[in-house]
Amino acid sequence: MAKTRTTEASVSQVHVDDGSMTTHFPPPSRTIEIHGRPSAAAAGNFGHLFPQMPDILYRLDLNGHISWIKDPSRLMGCGSSFFIGKHFKTFIHRDDTDRMMNSFFAAVEAKIPSVRREQFRLVTVEKKVLWIEVTAFTTFDEKDNFICEEGICRDITEHIEIKKALMRVHSELEEKVLARNKELLVANKELQNEIKERMETERKLRQREAELESEKLNLQEANTTLRVLLQKRTEDRRRLEVEILHNIKNLVLPYVQKIQSKPLTRSQQTYLGILSANLDEVATAFSRKLSLAYFDLSPSEIRVAHLIKKGVPTRRIAERLNLSIRTVDAYRGSIRRKLRINNRSVNLRTFLLAMSQQG
């Protein structure tokens, strides 16, 4: 019976590559002698558990052929005899074959007892692909000659599928997060642009308001200037009218009256009458725009004129001012004469009202 050697060791490094995991151990710290193939005796008091285990136990020779395998039917769909003598790569997925072959022969060539843990895809007899995690024990004799590789294969397909599902969910979640972040970035950029546009609009509005306020002030100043100019123009016109009326009354009419007192021919009297009438017309036109004070009316005449303008009869005027009716009539005649309408059929009240509306 062949004597084999296994080793107790502590894990020194774990390496994960493309879904596989390899565990390397340091040189042995203690050696245990085992005779023959694994059995209930070799397993100590745990041999009764072997029939209950769903895992596959196997042994490979130096070339990688299966020399012993325990109850592979649960996973592989075929009994032990089908696998004896076949190379282990026959049942490994083509995408994992090179990696598992390299791992096996690297352990053989190392000539150091070791334990490897790897993950790979196994193809069953029914061509079903299963994910397997193998824990492989490489044993050598005292002269470092390879004896065998013994290992345990465990089905981790469900675990891998869950892991893949989690990775898909994680990937989908990351994509959603990235998409959402992109949307947020776009929305944020649009919001910033909108804020900039609003700020620019507000700036333009404030600038326009300032311009309008400036224009308003300018218009107010212009209006004030225009009012001053209009007031001055009105005052100048009034002053000119007073001067013209004054000159007619004091510089022209006295001479006309003197001429009228002299002996004249009929034609001269006619021309003088026309000249006097025209002068009266000009003086009356100016007088309508002037207040009563410009016509040298006395205070009593001004009071009488105001009552006449209001339509108060002569008797009531006399009573209010404590005058006689004859005195009021005298004031009427004096007012008409000073207003130069004594020789014209013009109603005194109408004339006074016209003066108040145009003055």
Per residue of the chain (359 residues), what is the pLDDT tens digit?
A: 444 444 433 333 333 344 444 444 344 433 334 334 444 444 445 555 566 678 999 999 999 999 999 989 888 989 999 999 999 999 999 999 999 999 999 999 999 999 999 999 999 999 999 999 999 999 999 999 999 999 999 999 999 999 999 999 999 999 999 999 999 999 999 999 999 999 999 999 999 999 999 999 999 999 999 989 888 887 787 777 767 776 777 778 787 778 878 888 888 877 787 787 777 667 666 555 555 555 678 888 888 988 998 899 999 999 988 999 999 999 999 988 888 887 778 888 888 888 776 65
Return contacts of 24-32, CB within 8 angstroms, 24+ apart: 24/114, 24/116, 25/114, 25/115, 27/112, 27/113, 28/113, 31/5, 31/6, 31/7, 32/5, 32/6, 32/7, 32/8
pTM (predicted TM-score): 0.44
Say how many CA atoms lie within 13 Å of 181 toward its Cβ. Answer: 6
The pLDDT value recorded for residue 34 is 38
The pLDDT value recorded for residue 220 is 92
> What tokens does 353 get?
């009202």
Sequence-separated (6 or more) residues with CB below 8 Å from residue 50: 40, 43, 57, 70
Q: Of 229, 329, 344, which Cα lies nearest the Cα of 287?
A: 344
The pLDDT value recorded for residue 271 is 79
Q: What is the separation of C-alpha 79 from the centre of its chain, rounded to a whole number of angstroms?
A: 72
φ/ψ (deg, to 5) at 54:
-80, -10
CB 34 within 8 A of CB 123: no
Could you tell me what percentage of the chain is helix, strand and coil, using 3-state DSSP and rounding each to the nearest 5?
60, 20, 25
The pLDDT value recorded for residue 207 is 94
CB 149 within 8 A of CB 138: yes
Sign of CA dihedral 146, 148, 152, 153: positive
Sequence-separated (6 or more) residues with CB below 8 Å from residue 321: 300, 303, 304, 307, 328
Give the residues across from 17 on adjacent strands. Answer: 20
DSSP state of 248: I
Which structural domains are found in the chain, ordered by start? 3-155 (3.30.450.20), 288-358 (1.10.10)
Give the residues across from 117 on adjacent strands. Answer: 135
DSSP state of 21: E
3 state DSSP class of 144: coil
The pLDDT value recorded for residue 233 is 85
CB 155 within 8 A of CB 125: no
Q: Find tokens 């290992």 and name the residue.
A: 151
